[in-house]
Structure 1
Amino acid sequence: MSTSKWFGRKFDFSFGPDEYTSIYQRLQQAPDILAQLLTSIPEHILTHQPDGKWSVKEHTGHLSVLEPLWRTRMHDILEQKPVLTATDLENKATSEAGFNKDAITALLEKFLAERRATIELLDSINVPGNGQTSMHPRLQQPMRIIDIAYFTAEHDDHHIAVIQELVKGR
């Protein structure tokens, strides 16, 4: 796991459908991993914004903010849209949400609820058997639903790694 900039990452989606089970498990486990990591962390650590960057709470809130985008993109593929729905590259929804005012338990519950909705959607699709693609607008790569799931798991890992560094830096 690297805490390098997310937007600089490149992704290889050449893996086969046999990887889906492990990707699915990563998606299922992320809320629990995050909750375990943030148990008993003092409030001043959770809200600290090093060098004006996001705090632990803001990273946690960001995960739930983006969860509907992952589901929308899965629907884009199912609906055979040529290009996936774009994200706000400035992350205004996260920056303007005021997550530092929220209890960490509420942020974790929101992420869990959003992730459960994503898991329910995945459960309703034959993901390994669905080879349809749509173009990712920033990466300029075609993506399948399994690729969206992998991308989401990688995004989780990226933010969890940043959160771990913020917690260690107390």
Structure 2
Amino acid sequence: MHKILGKDEFAPYYQSYVELVSEGDFHDLLVEGIDKTSNLVSQIPEEQGMFRYADNKWTIKELLGHMADTERIMAHRLLSVVRGDAVSLPGFDEETYVQAASFNKQTINDLLQNLQAVRRSTIHLVKSIEADCMLKSGTANNCNVTARALIVIILGHELHHCNILKERYLSRINGQAD
């Protein structure tokens, strides 16, 4: 459990993401996260972008596109919560989103630039949130969620997928065992 979050601040589905995130200033963690992700992704040759580590798994390009899509959705949820929108926000089907996108037609660099742009937007949003608004809560996918939990989920989702990228994609591309 992330030390600052209570278990009632997010859906149990996000527990594994939350556990990946260190305590710290959210702005700093968001900047450090995208810097590390950018360094990792910038080392992937374009010809490896269509690599899948197993049948029916996403390509590296699809994974990168999914990361940007998910952060956009979570940042929208964050905006809705801190602005006091009482509407129940819908869930989303990540598989449907990936299948409907054209990630495999884009370059790795374009997908990385997209992810970086989304992160810059998230950083600006987070910087604008007053400390007393971090405990505001709303409903997303029929579950209660706080503003600060959404930021931690954004960070943990990025860490989760960077770990998968290293352990399941790049280790196989580089010929290393799991």
- Shorter-chain TM-score category? 0.7 to 0.9
TM-score by length of 1: 0.78
Provide closer, same or farther for how the CA distance between residues 33 and 145 of structure 1 changes in structure 2, counting only shifts above 3 A.
same
Amino acid at match of 2:113: E
Q: Trace 1:124-163 onto structure 2 (pairs within 5 A).
A: 124-126=128-130, 128-130=131-133, 131-137=135-141, 140=143, 142-163=144-165
Question: Quick one: distance in 1 between partners of 2:98 and 2:59?
Answer: 11
Whether the aligned pair in 1 keeps the contact of 2:31 and 2:123 (CA below 8 Å) is yes
Aligned residue for 1:168?
Answer: 171
Aligned residue for 1:81?
Answer: 85
- Does residue 25 in structure 1 map to residue 28 in structure 2? yes
Deviation at 1:78, TM superposition (A): 2.3
Gaps of 5+ in 2: 1-10, 17-22, 174-178
Structure 2 residue matching 1:135: 3-state secondary structure: strand
Structure 2 residue matching 1:129: 3-state secondary structure: helix
Question: Quick one: distance in 1 between partners of 2:97 and 2:132?
Answer: 34
Gaps of 5+ in 1: 1-6, 13-18
Whether the aligned pair in 2 keeps the contact of 1:31 and 1:108 (CA below 8 Å) is no
The size of the alignment, in residue pairs, is 155
Deviation at 1:90, TM superposition (A): 4.1
> Alpha carbon RMSD of aligned pairs, Å?
2.5
Counterpart of 1:99 (choices 87, 99, 103) is: 103
Identity %: 24
Whether the aligned pair in 1 keeps the contact of 2:41 and 2:112 (CA below 8 Å) is no
Question: Quick one: distance in 1 between partners of 2:68 and 2:42?
Answer: 18
Counterpart of 2:46 (choices 23, 43, 50) is: 43
Structure 1 residue matching 2:49: 3-state secondary structure: helix
| Alignment deviations for residues 107-146 of structure 1 (CA, whole Å, 9 cap, x no partner) | 11110011101111111111x32221113325x3x22211
